[in-house]
Structure 1
């Protein structure tokens, strides 16, 4: 009887452990993961919170994203450079709301301007590249495209994230294979200067049971290490997505509210 009872306990524990693992994950390689999650999010909207850490620097953004194959639309606020800044990404154009104290530099005092990494206006020249990448990095479609272009699946499994059953994927992303499509805060010039020193960087993606991203973590510590920053320095981008059934009507600012800062 003791042997029978012990066998029963072993079988029960085995069943429980098997239920926690949940068997094989949905995607066996990086491309399949990117394609599956892209298909699952097309036409959907979610709320997001992104935290960027680089050494002692901290930055936080939050907002809504409406994902589409033709381009994700975003409405967000961020504490860029320690000041609150409102951004919108619509039709692949980034709009920034000018702080009231600086609107005297915009003809007519209009509240919005277009921001471009190669713009000739002073605002774009000072912060255009960083703002453009910051807005676009919150786009899950862009992150998945980076996985598709340069990702290699390292590990996968079933887990819970904040009490939600999920699949967790660990990947390596080859920075050289990304070309100019780099994570927020990184320029092609900076990466070019690290050529030969920087190989792959880790990324983690958690998907819900409908294959939609719950969290994406990009570990940029190898970039700091290749730049000569002490190994103890931490650098990563963490984006959390929630409420994938959100209704998000994200539009560009009205044309009459968009100004243009004269080139300096």
Structure 2
């Protein structure tokens, strides 16, 4: 009788062994697509931004080693055929004074600042238009900020520097809780100035070269739909010590946003 039971015991053992098979572990999501050429990257970002047109933003930054140059702001971005327009409510540090609240409006061809309430302005004026001849140190600090904001958006960066841009590195990297791909971009200012078809932008690039700015680096993070999640500029300050940093985070793309200049009667030149 015992010899007849042996095949049954073997069968039971085999079935028990099958029951101990390792469970199948589901694989994670597929890796996000990465672009190997600037042309592909530019086309993907431009197509996405032209469809969305607008975003909300937060910005922070300053100049290394100069706490009184730090800033933080919240605002909006709008992309049109003429370029990028932005408006921010900012808190900025001031040497020997309390932090100040200002409003900054950056348009393709103009920069406007609504200064702190304690600023001395002509009667019935509440805004200042900033430009290359602005001399007041407090107002001048917003010029590199405006210049950096104009190229912090990837589409504007590509438009300004064209074929002078190279991708130095890329990797999948989560940002602000979302999956994304990071691209490290490098632009040669001399090459961009030589090849820029827009005379005004070409002159601005040559001015940057004359001031000692030979290259610009921009790091961007894109989500799976190629929308910017974050951009980071960290570069030398032409004609000054320290490095200027601008860290921008984007969200809520595609909402209706209007950004216009201040009423002209309220604006004074600086």
Q: Report Cα offsets for 1:112-170 as digits up to 9, x if no partner.
A: 1221114xxxxx22356642341242241433435634321122233322221222212
2:107 equivalent to 1:90: yes
Find the aligned partners of 2:186 and 2:140 in 1 and give their Cα distance.
25
- Higher share in strand: 2
Q: Pick closer, same or farther for the CA change 1:174–1:164 going to 2, 3 Å.
A: same
Q: Is the 8 A contact 1:215 1:238 kept in 2?
A: yes
2:53 equivalent to 1:66: no
Q: Is the 8 A contact 1:59 1:78 kept in 2?
A: yes
Q: Report Cα offsets for 1:86-136 as digits up to 9, x if no partner.
A: 111235211111433334x42x33111221114xxxxx2235664234124
Trace 1:145-156 onto structure 2 (pairs within 5 A). Answer: 145-146=159-160, 148-156=162-170
Of the three residues 212, 216, 236, the one matched with 1:191 is 212
The root-mean-square deviation of aligned C-alpha atoms, in Å, is 3.5
1:46 corresponds in structure 2 to 55
Greater radius of gyration (CA): 2
SS at match of 1:109: coil
2:136 corresponds in structure 1 to 126
Q: Report Cα offsets for 1:52-77 as digits up to 9, x if no partner.
A: 24322333233111111212121113
1:116 corresponds in structure 2 to 131
Of the three residues 203, 213, 220, the one matched with 2:218 is 203
Q: Report Cα offsets for 1:237-257 as digits up to 9, x if no partner.
A: 221111113321112112232
Q: Is the 8 A contact 1:50 1:138 kept in 2?
A: no
2:165 equivalent to 1:158: no
Q: Report Cα offsets for 1:3-59 as digits up to 9, x if no partner.
A: x957x76xx47x43xx3524x42x221232123212321261111122224322333
Stretches of structure 2 lacking an aligned partner (at least 5 in a row): 1-16, 95-99, 194-202
Find the aligned partners of 1:129 and 1:167 in 2 and give their Cα distance.
35
Stretches of structure 1 lacking an aligned partner (at least 5 in a row): 119-123, 193-197
Name the count of aligned residue pairs: 230
TM-score, length-normalised on structure 1? Answer: 0.70
1:121 corresponds in structure 2 to none
Moved over 6 A (4+): 226-229
